[in-house]
């Protein structure tokens, strides 16, 4: 996403201009909803998470520090935490076992695939499944490293290294030319 739009959205939100909320939804709404759904695995819960997250972003924009992180990183954290709190509050996490299948990684409806992500999706398959599983567990399921280790029956040290390597490998997925 062009950096200009990110700065523009931040300015509008800081000035309490509702146009900022509209742009925030337009540019990040689908991604945030996807994160919410990936964590809750429930449309209604994901809808609640998205709405609550956007309102939190609106209310807390004054606490955002652009020197410390990108806007997406900040709103990703808010959405992820809201989703984790949501599933904990409805106690659905305990009823769901983590079944991270390879197919789930790509379980996005055809209508949701945006053209700009088509190539990425193709390359995503090149990311080793073992890294995807760990990233999924920690980033989207809200597990701690210990919980992921217990759930996936993988040693804690392995969890840590697979996370590190997996994120590094993502560079090859999204910036294949840089790697080369």
Partner 1 sequence: METNLKTFLNSDLLEKYLIGDISTEELYKVEYFIDEYPEVREQFSEMEENLESYAKTFSKPAPVEVKQNVIEYASKEKKPKVLNTRWYYGAVACIITLLFSVVSIYLWKQNEMLIMQNNEAANKFMTLQNDIVDTNSKLEDFKNQLTVLNKAETRKYVIKGNQRAKDLKTVAYINSNDKLSVMNIVSLPELPEGQVFQMWANIDGELVSLGVLEKKQQQEKLVTLPFKENALSYNITIEPEGGNEYATIENEVANIAVH
- Nearest-CA neighbor of 47 among 58, 32, 63, 69? 32
- How long, in residues, is the chain? 180
Q: Residues in contact with partner 1, total (CB under 8 A)?
A: 60
* Closer to partner 1 by Cβ: residue 34 or 92: 34
**C-alpha to C-alpha distance for 51 and 45, rounded to whole angstroms:** 10
Among 117, 129, 150, 176, binds partner 1 (CB under 8 A): 117
- What is the number of alpha carbons within 13 Å of residue 1 lying toward its C-beta? 16
**C-alpha to C-alpha distance for 41 and 96, rounded to whole angstroms:** 10
Among 95, 99, 109, 115, binds partner 1 (CB under 8 A): 109
**C-alpha to C-alpha distance for 53 and 146, rounded to whole angstroms:** 26
Q: Which residues bind partner 1 (CB under 8 A)?
A: 1, 14-18, 20-22, 25, 29-35, 37-38, 46-47, 50-51, 54-55, 58-59, 68-70, 72-73, 76-77, 80-81, 108-109, 111-112, 114, 117, 120-121, 124, 135, 138-140, 144-145, 160, 163-164, 167, 170-171, 173-175
């Amino acid at each position: 996403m062009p950096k200009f739009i990110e700065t523009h959205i931040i300015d509008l939100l800081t000035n309490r201009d509702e146009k900022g909320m509209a742009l925030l939804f337009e540019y990040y709404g689908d991604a945030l909803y996807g994160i919410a759904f990936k964590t809750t695995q429930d449309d209604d819960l994901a809808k609640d998470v998205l709405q609550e997250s956007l309102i939190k972003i609106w209310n807390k924009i004054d606490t955002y520090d652009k020197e410390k992180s990108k806007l997406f990183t900040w709103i990703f954290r808010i959405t992820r935490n809201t989703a984790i709190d949501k599933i904990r509050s409805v106690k659905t996490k305990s009823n769901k076992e983590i079944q991270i299948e390879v197919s789930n990684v790509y379980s996005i409806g055809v209508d949701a695939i945006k053209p700009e992500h088509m190539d990425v999706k193709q390359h995503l398959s090149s990311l080793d499944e073992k890294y995807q599983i760990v990233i999924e567990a920690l980033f989207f399921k809200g597990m701690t490293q210990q919980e992921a280790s217990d759930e996936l029956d993988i040693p804690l040290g392995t969890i840590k290294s697979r996370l590190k390597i997996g994120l590094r490998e993502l560079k090859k997925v999204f910036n294949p030319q840089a790697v080369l």
